[in-house]
Every structure is written in C-alpha cells, then in structure tokens.
Structure 1
Amino acid sequence: MFIYNVTIKLQWSIHEDWVKWMQEKHLADVMATGCFTKYQMVRLMDIDEEEGPTYAIQYYCDSKAQYNQYIEMYAPKLRLDGIQLFGDKMIGFRSLMKIVH
C-alpha cells in the first residue's frame, strides 16, 4: 500500500476558506477519481504558525499504478483548481511513501 502525502502551508488570510473548500469540494473530487481507497487530513502541531497553519493530506492507494494514474490523469486539473482559488497564498510539497509495516 502507498500513501500520497500533500503538505500545504497556508497564509492566515485563506485558512477558513481553504479548509471549507477542502472539506466540501476538493477531497471529494480526489476520491471520485477512484485512485485512492481512503484519506486523512491532519493539521501539523508544535510548529510555528505565525504566518499560517500547515496541513497534511494523506491519500491511500493499493498500488503504484493507481498513484501514477492519478498523477497523469487527474492531478494537473485538481491542482489548478486550488491555484486558481488561492494563488500564492499557499505553498506545498508532495511525496509518495510505501507502507512497510
């Protein structure tokens, strides 16, 4: 099993709108691709939040092929949705992890 992890640092000015968009739209759109079996959205704690909070969203998939399908077929448009709404008020990085135990 694999975890596609997306970590996002937000500016406070978009925090509430971004969380609402994630909960009401984006997470459902990602799951509707059929590439992932479950997800969790967490807020990082014990970090400096002076400029804004940081969240991590972890999407679980059974195979690397499912991840590749998401990246190739769906990720560009779904990423663009967030950029169009929130622009440079957020910054993120992504990583793929394999569960070993």
Structure 2
Amino acid sequence: LTFIMSFSYHSLAPTLANAGENSCVLEASVDVIVEVWDVDDQGNKGYRIWKGTIKQGQHKRIESQQGQIRYAQTTVMDENEPLSGDVDRSCHNGQIIGVP
C-alpha cells in the first residue's frame, strides 16, 4: 500500500517567473481600465507608466523605477469614465497585484 501526498504552497505575495527586481504584474479579476504611475523619491505620484484595459483573467507586467507604484481604476468600460482610487503598492520581483 502506497500513499502519495501532494502539497501546494501559495505565498502571501505570489509572483510570476522571469520578473525584474522592480517589476510587478497587475491581474484582473474582472475587465478593468487601469492607469499606473511611478512613485518619485518623495513618495509622490510621478510619471505615468501605463494606461489601458486588462481583460478578466489577464495580466499586465509593470516595470517601475523605484519599486513602488500608484494606480487608479474603473470597471466601467468607457474611456471617458473617471478613474477612482489612488492605490499605493510595492512593485518588486514580479509580485502579483489583483485589480480591481
């Protein structure tokens, strides 16, 4: 009689392979429009890194300068819809950030 056990480990901060030190991945749980900014040395919103739509279940890799980003989002699929939020998150080693 043989028992085979399988273990699965899920980190509190999952990552994707082949990630740069100051990179992260936005993962959409629903269709979402997102705008992402770098954070400057003082922690203020800096240059815009990316703006676009991420479809449900899809990913968008983000490269930051400081390893910190801010983002705003909306689930209303209209480019004229204002985005909400000013979320501040670390962006390191391919860390996955769920949006919205």
TM-score (norm 1): 0.33
Higher helix share: 1
Higher strand share: 2
TM-score (norm 2): 0.33
